[in-house]
Structure 1
């Protein structure tokens, strides 16, 4: 059996930056164990599998070690593949995943994700978190992830956490964020507990970052930069209980997986 794959750098308009994702458009679902092994073989932050069913495009996302309920950059990459490789004759693609229905729309030269807003709540600093991050903390909030506010963009860039200590925290991942110098806010995302020491650019974390920074800065439209080594720019809007996350995407590889 041969399976066609496409690798896309999401949230970037050039190769070798943004966040790489592998995309498989399947005729039918593979066994869960096989999809997990394929994701481990590619060893990217996310591998997305798509199947067209009666209700629309169903999507599942796998890290090298586990399936996750939501992934922004791999959804953006999946829409790009359907639009540009498979020439879907539409302007909007609706995906059905474990977190519900989400859409990706063409907006000029960008793709625009429509995800649920996740308003974070106060959690408070713990000794374990302070030791794991090894940096001064301004505030700690939580939604599906832990959101840690730092004093400056430079503090975010300089953050060098203890990954083993982060993996022991009772959260799937930790976002560090601060007000930006050239963007409204910046962030980084660490998730060693699910096999991702640091994710280059993370769409789903902006589901809680956008409501937080929108309220703090008093504006609906925001520019964001995830300042990992690869880096990526996001164009964000808060629209009621939804967030819009825009970005570019670049196809960098296509091929076939040979399963014998």
Structure 2
């Protein structure tokens, strides 16, 4: 089976968020896909199968299948555009869990078009914030994640959460964010529940971040930085009930895996 490893949301290898991409002629079992993702031990492994004019796509962390993954979708599109002889500038993906997703190519820039998240305010109780070790100013719950808002970029950069405590929260992951010094906003993403203590760059988290910051900053276009050790850079736009998340990618590895 062919495998690619792509660094997403970066213009150089060894930064951004690495994702494995496995093109398939037909679907293999979920159990085998999960084993491959565990063996890869990356934040996400994407699998896709061509179905007429669409590409069905699924994403796996080392421990679970997830509903939506931005950086691995960007990586899958990068593979199709650059290595799998896809000649159009628009790819139509379909996720059984998240519906229609598109990726467009303009030069080297790839743009994801994803559904917007919905946010509900959360009361800042000690039970909610325990594990972050720094108190946020606001809290919200999206479809799958908690969002915590802080006053300053330095708080995001210096945050040292208790992952054991966070792993017990009933969500996919935890987004923390603040206004940026050199970008409109910054963020980090913690997901010990999904087998990843900290995700380097999280496209899907920006379906939550973009509508929040659109309301806060009263505009629709943003620059964003995810402040993991590897860092990631994203251009973002709110499009009514959809979001556009754009970035670059680099290929690190092309190879073959043997599963029998």
TM range (shorter): over 0.9
* Aligned equivalents of 2:173, 2:158: Cα separation in 1: 18
Decide which of 42, 49, 52 is 1:51's aligned counterpart: 49
Corresponding position of 1:79: 77
* Aligned equivalents of 1:163, 1:59: Cα separation in 2: 29
User: How far 1:125 sits from its partner (Å)?
Assistant: 1.4
Corresponding position of 2:34: 36
Corresponding position of 1:121: 120
SS state of the match for residue 81, structure 1?
helix
Corresponding position of 1:213: 213
Corresponding position of 2:19: 21
The answer to whether the 8 A contact 1:119-1:212 is kept is no
Corresponding position of 2:243: 243
The answer to whether the 8 A contact 2:119-2:140 is kept is yes
Corresponding position of 1:253: 253
1:138 and 2:137 matched: yes
* Aligned equivalents of 1:31, 1:119: Cα separation in 2: 32
User: How far 1:5 sits from its partner (Å)?
Assistant: 0.2
Aligned length: 258
Tell me the TM-score normalised to structure 1 length.
Answer: 0.97
The answer to whether the 8 A contact 2:103-2:110 is kept is yes
* Aligned equivalents of 2:30, 2:208: Cα separation in 1: 29
The answer to whether the 8 A contact 2:53-2:92 is kept is no
Listed as ranges, the gaps of 5+ residues in structure 2 are: none
Corresponding position of 1:176: 176
1:89 and 2:80 matched: no
RMSD in angstroms over aligned alpha carbons? 0.9
User: How far 1:55 sits from its partner (Å)?
Assistant: 5.4
* Aligned equivalents of 2:237, 2:226: Cα separation in 1: 16
After TM superposition, what 4+ stretches of structure 1 lie above 3 angstroms from structure 2?
none
